[in-house]
Amino acid sequence: MVGLCLVAGCGWNPPPEFELNLEGRPRKSVSAEQREAIAKMLQRLFGTPDRPQVPDGVGLDRSLVEMAAGPPGGDAQGNQRGLYRRHCVTCHGVTGDGAGPSAALLDPYPRDFRRGVFKYTSTKAGIKPLASDLRGTLTRGVAGTAMPSFAQLAPRELDALVEYVKYLSIRGQAEQYLFEQVVDDEARLPLDLGQVLDEGVLPAARSWEAPERNPELVIAPGPRPPVDTPEALAASIARGRDLYASKDAQCVRCHGPQGDGNGEEKELYDDWNKPKKGVTPEQTAELERLYKLPIQRLRPRDFRQGNFRGGVGPEGRHLYYRIYAGIKGTPMPGVGPSPGAPGVMTSEDIWHVVDFVRSLSRK
Amino acid sequence: MSRTLHRRDLLRQSAALAGGMALGFGVPRVAVASAASWGDLVGRFVYAGTPPERKKLKVDKDVECCGKFDIRDESLMVASDGGLANLFVYVRTRKVDVCPELAESAPKRVTLDNRDCIFMPHCMTIWFGKQEFYIVNSDPIAQNVAFSPLGDTPANIVLAAVKDTKDAKADTNISATWKFNRAQIIPVPIACNYHPWESAFVLPRDNPYATVTAADGTFRLAKLPVGKLEFQVWHERVGYLDTPEWPKGRFEMEIKPGVNDLGTVKIAPARLEKN
């Protein structure tokens, strides 16, 4: 150590590394050989935090990814570098695991990008967000959470961060695949690069491209029922109230009859926290130890506060998206039709519910 | 290598013969040809202990509808004679040859019914390239069906309540047809966010060689390609069913034409206890 100080200077820090996703796994359940095989394959495909790579066939803009990656700084032309480490890493972590140094202090926790699931999107249920959705979250911030607005960044800087979030997400999904194959299925090592690309990387990349290419996967709200007179608005709110309480929509179950987030269902967890939940408190304590962050319960939104995490949007358009497709990665299901799901509300119904929900915060 | 080629030749041959059958001749010859290349695996799993009592589950949602059913834990189903149900038995070997007859005979859909406030069946397998996953509600209350297969599209589906009327047309939005895009190495848990006691498991595979033991503990994997195959056994209580003979619930077998009988496999109760 002393020798290292002499050679490199005491301010020397090793370059940051991506961390393996051992969440939920007892450490000894993954052998050193398996760990090395996964880490090596990931590095071969995606590079390192300082020198990221975009695997062949993955439609990410390499120059944008590079702009976000690496240590913070800029070049002589004033182009920013290292944007992710400058703006995001304290909460979201080098690996995008949502477990940066300050994460444990936050409620809700910062998003873990590695599952490839994002809550606030304009796409149908089960579909990845559009780049513009991630950009919207960056510019708006997430109301009622520690996520601030980055609206002051230059457009290209925002594009770079969006691209890097997608990069970390595709990398995280490829890593899930590798753990499935190498650890759970004990694939013979060394791994075949072509197979990993075909089965673990490209399907993840394609799922990100799908909504950008296929407008069918993006929510297209129908015409808004007119609410230009107080009477029309009152009628829409009344209709929305009925739909909100209807047997098929089930909104009251979590959000409560008053819309105060106090429904009968209390044991709610998102997909990031659900695996930490055991049947007994002892089991939960046991499981929590396998994760970086302790379990966090989900609180259904209290509409009276008017604090909507995914934003309200012009005429309540973002609320429409939330009701249509649900909130991804949470128990909140969508009531609009999506691939494989019939939906239980029409576009007009959804608008009425939007009007009702917004009316609660105006009081 | 030569075995694979040989098997492929036979496959092509039987496919050609099947084509002939469709034209109306040569039926017995097809049977002979496929009998030579394919074999069934049958067996029975038995719980070597007193059948456990199934705990009554807490039903505290939609009580006016669900409260009238005797809803019990389904995580360990043992018949009175010991038959162990709901074990997943499937071929672990990758890229197996598939008997062409199975593509014809496999039911077009696998159905998950929301009935009497539980999922029916509790365990199912699906050949996802050929079969569709049909999810339907038969209850007068809305149902939710949520599952997140690894590397595949997550589902969080709402199905409308069945209306209290004789008019079947009134029942809209009570069913969904889901598409899986990749095979899973273990079954995917299915939950209902409205009724936390509901649970089911589905295993999507890229071949038809996956099944679930019946109420009496028996199973049959029909028309497997002859030759050495590795099988996987999985149970929801413990995951891979680890036994002294079958570490991680895996065993190899040389499948011969005709019926290959695994016999009765006794499972010690401790093997189904979580550690």
Q: Which of residues 95-154 of B touch A (CB under 8 A)?
A: 141-142, 144, 146, 148, 150-151, 153-154
pLDDT value of residue A77: 82
Size of interface A-B (CB pairs under 8 A): 97
pLDDT value of residue B1: 37
Chain B residue with the nearest C-alpha to that of A179: B150
CB of A210 within 8 Å of a chain B CB? The answer is no
pLDDT above 50 (res B9): no
pLDDT value of residue A362: 74
Instruction: Return averaged pLDDT per consecutive 10 residues of chain A, 363 residues in all.
Output: 51 87 95 97 98 97 96 84 96 98 97 98 98 98 97 97 98 98 94 97 98 98 96 98 94 96 94 95 96 97 94 96 98 96 96 97 74
pLDDT value of residue A11: 65
- Interchain CB distance below 8 Å, A343 and B150: no
Of the pLDDT bands very low, low, confident and very high (cuts 50, 70, 90), residue B232 is very high
Is beta strand B88-91 parallel, antiparallel or unpaired with respect to B188-191?
Answer: unpaired
Is beta strand B38-47 parallel, antiparallel or unpaired with respect to B258-267?
Answer: parallel
Calculate mean pLDDT across residues B104-120.
Answer: 97
Calculate mean pLDDT across residues B11-26.
Answer: 40
Contact B177, B111 (CB under 8 A): no
Contact A349, A238 (CB under 8 A): no
* A342: nearest CB among B144, B146, B176: B176
pLDDT value of residue B164: 73
Separation of alpha carbons A42 and A25, rounded Å:
19
CB of A243 within 8 Å of a chain B CB? The answer is no
- Interchain CB distance below 8 Å, B161 and A248: yes
Q: For testing the chain B interface, which of A28, A250, A254, A353 should be mutated: the one with the most B CBs within 10 Å? A: A250
| Class of residue A107 by CB neighbours under 10 A (exposed 0-12, middle 13-18, buried 19+) | exposed
pLDDT value of residue A295: 98
pLDDT above 90 (res B12): no
- Interchain CB distance below 8 Å, B173 and A340: no
CB of B58 within 8 Å of a chain A CB? The answer is no
* A247: nearest CB among B141, B144, B150: B141
pLDDT value of residue B29: 38
Digit-coded pLDDT (tens) for B158-213? 999 998 766 767 788 999 999 999 999 999 999 999 999 999 999 999 999 999 99
Separation of alpha carbons B71 and B199, rounded Å:
11
pLDDT value of residue B8: 43
Digit-coded pLDDT (tens) for A270-312? 999 999 999 899 999 999 999 999 999 999 999 999 999 999 9
pLDDT value of residue B18: 41
pLDDT value of residue B3: 42
Of the pLDDT bands very low, low, confident and very high (cuts 50, 70, 90), residue B274 is confident
Digit-coded pLDDT (tens) for A237-257? 999 999 999 999 999 999 999
Higher pLDDT, residue B12 or A223: A223
CB of A53 within 8 Å of a chain B CB? The answer is no
Mean per-residue pLDDT of chain A: 95
Q: Residue-wise over A35-66: b if at least 16 C-beta within 10 A, else e?
A: bebbbebbeebbbbbeebbbbeebebeeebbb
pLDDT value of residue B172: 86
- Interchain CB distance below 8 Å, B146 and A333: yes
H or E stretch covering B202 = strand B199-205
Assigned token pair, A210: 């799908």
pLDDT above 70 (res B33): no
* A247: nearest CB among B61, B161, B172: B161
pLDDT above 80 (res B10): no
Contact residues, chain B, for A177 at CB < 8 Å:
150-151
Assigned token pair, A62: 């390499």
- Interchain CB distance below 8 Å, B146 and A331: yes
pTM for this structure? 0.90
Local structure of residue A310 (DSSP, 8 states)? T
Instruction: Tell me the shortest Cα–Cα distance from B177 to chain A, in angstroms.
Output: 5
CB of A204 within 8 Å of a chain B CB? The answer is yes
ipTM above 0.85, yes or no: yes
Digit-coded pLDDT (tens) for B139-173? 999 999 999 999 999 999 999 999 876 676 778 89
Domain B39-272: CATH class, spelled out:
mainly beta
